[in-house]
Amino acid sequence: MQTDTYKHKGMRRALVNQLREKGIRDERVLAAIEAVPRHFFFEKAFVEQAYQDKAFPIGEGQTISQPYTVAFQTELLELKPTDKVLEIGTGSGYQCSILLQITPNVYTIEYNRALYEKALMFFRKYGLKPHTFHGDGSQGLPKHAPYDKIIVTAGAPGIPKTLVQQLNVGGILVIPVGNESSQKMMRITRVEHDEFTKEEFSNFKFVPLLGKSGWESDNL
């Protein structure tokens, strides 16, 4: 179990100030970033890197997203404490831990078994209680739908129809869409049962979303 010292808290405060300067405004999101010890997701040798605004390898060819990206996506979700949220791409569990600071009702699905098991151990160790699943999240998680918010943390080739169908009316999907080298952040809102609005934001670079509605792969 790692400890959270004044030094770590100070580094987190500095990171939050950087995120404010970069345009993050949602106080709930900033408070969540300040509350979650990001260094818990890193090996001890890399603790210094934990509070830089950078993505970092977590094994299996995957990454823990850059804090700015986590903050930007979470802000676009307009999260409320009563929201039921689905995260696609658990990875290290960091984004999930941020979501849990704002709402207790978080479902998260990971495609890579080794990362899924590692995240599961992490959540147990720190007493966090998201609903965890292993499988292809490019199809969402229909068994537990509908959701108020869905966040995809890997780059998709398009907006999977099955995901928007799992939103409540008024619900929001945040998903990076593009090719394998760059993706535009998209926000889809289900304004009525059959009516959706689509907004485009800046470019990001994510690891690819795999699976049926992602970039096909059979390494489940």
Residues near ligand SAM (CB under 6 A) are 62-65, 88-89, 91-92, 94-95, 109-112, 115, 136-138, 153-154, 206-207, 209-211, 214
Q: At what angle do helices 67-77 and 6-21 cross, to 10 degrees?
A: 60
Dihedral sign, Cα of residue 134, residue 138, residue 143, residue 147: positive
Residue 209: CB minimum distance to ligand SAM, A: 4
Q: First vs last Cα of the chain: how many Å apart?
A: 30
Nearer of residues 15 and 207 to ligand SAM, judged by Cβ: 207
Catalytic residues, by residue number, are: 65
Tokens describing residue 83: 């929201």
Residue 91: CB minimum distance to ligand SAM, A: 2
CA 181 to chain centre: 19
Q: How far is CA 83 from CA 78, 107, 172, 191, 202, in A?
A: 10, 11, 11, 16, 25
CA angle 214, 217, 220 (to 5 degrees): 105
Q: Are 38 and 89 in contact (CB under 8 A)?
A: no
Nearer of residues 131 and 170 to ligand SAM, judged by Cβ: 131
Nearer of residues 11 and 58 to ligand SAM, judged by Cβ: 58
**Eight-state DSSP code of residue 127:** T
Nearer of residues 89 and 171 to ligand SAM, judged by Cβ: 89
Q: How far is CA 209 from CA 76, 175, 216, 218, in A?
A: 19, 10, 9, 12
Nearer of residues 183 and 191 to ligand SAM, judged by Cβ: 183
Q: How far is CA 206 from CA 8, 9, 16, 58, 192, in A?
A: 27, 27, 22, 14, 30
